[in-house]
Amino acid sequence: MVEVLDEAIDFARRRGLRWQAAFLYAGRVTSGFELGRFDDLLRDLGWELSKSEVAGSVLAQLDLRSYALRATTIRGRLTDRVVLEELESTARSTGDVESISTLAAAVPAHVLHGDVTAAHDLLVELLPTIASGRGWWWVPRMLPSLVRAAVEIDEVDLAERLANSAPCRMPIDDHARVAGAAIVAEAHGDLQGAAPAYRDAADGWRSFEIVPEAGYAALGEGRSLARLGRTEDAVVALDQARTIFSGLGATPLVDAVDRLMRDTAVA
């Protein structure tokens, strides 16, 4: 996929199709993130931002920087609050609904900082856009991370509103809603409902080759199964999650899986 995009970018650049080239650069980064190629994404970011097509487009720059933010946050790396504020301000100033995805990318980064207020305020700000059906490209890809963030800051009601607000128009929307429902079910203690929902979400994300979310869904399934006492099934799901997170270089998530596997073995 990335190789095909490289050919398309070269084709567009040689013909002076600057807007198309910028769009394709963004697609290259999107594919790298979804396929879990975080090392390549972060290594090539400076090179891509330096390209004239991208350097001349605020929207393209935001898109690339947002995916880099998501990758580094998953890896447990803090982003300076000043940088987050600049990204959020720039995204709002564009007036472009797709650029609002930058605000969604910032939510888990604020959670990682422990900044509950900033995360909460962004989630509330994003809710009308999600509920209105706008942001058709980024909402299904980022909805589960927003629902997880709401649960992490103890806003389960807000998590449920987010999970139920997104329209379901395409297959990827269905995967996002199933994942959101699983997160909310687990937060409410409905492990019997959460475990199979996480499994369905993991299968859906794998079928779309959206690797990070497949990892989170497998982790959720394993965690739910472990709490239900289904040790063998839990270990299978947790092992799948660990393999994905290890490939992403997401050390904190690998550590979380390892702790859960140890606790599960002891139980």
**Contact between 25 and 64 (Cβ < 8 Å):** yes
CA distance 72 to 253: 12
pLDDT at res. 82: 97
pLDDT at res. 60: 80
Q: Can you give the pTM of this predicted structure?
A: 0.92
Tokens representing 188 are 């409410």
Three-class DSSP category at 188: coil
CA angle 185, 181, 196 (to 5 degrees): 75
What does the pLDDT profile of the chain (267 residues) look like in tens digits? 566 666 766 665 666 666 566 666 666 788 889 999 999 888 877 766 666 455 567 888 888 899 999 999 999 999 999 999 999 999 999 988 889 999 999 999 999 999 999 999 999 999 999 999 888 889 999 999 999 999 999 999 999 999 999 888 899 999 999 999 999 999 999 999 999 999 999 999 999 999 999 999 999 999 999 999 999 999 999 999 999 999 999 999 999 999 999 988 755
pLDDT at res. 5: 65
189 Rama sector, left if φ>0, alpha if ψ -120 to 50, beta otherwise: left
Segments making up each domain of the chain, as ranges: 75-167
Tokens representing 140 are 């299904």
**DSSP characters for 108-165?**
HHHHHHT-HHHHHHHHHHHHHHHHTT--TTHHHHHHHHHHHHHHHTT-HHHHHHHHHH
**Contact between 144 and 182 (Cβ < 8 Å):** no
Spatial neighbors of 120 by CB under 8 A, at least 6 apart, are 153, 155, 158
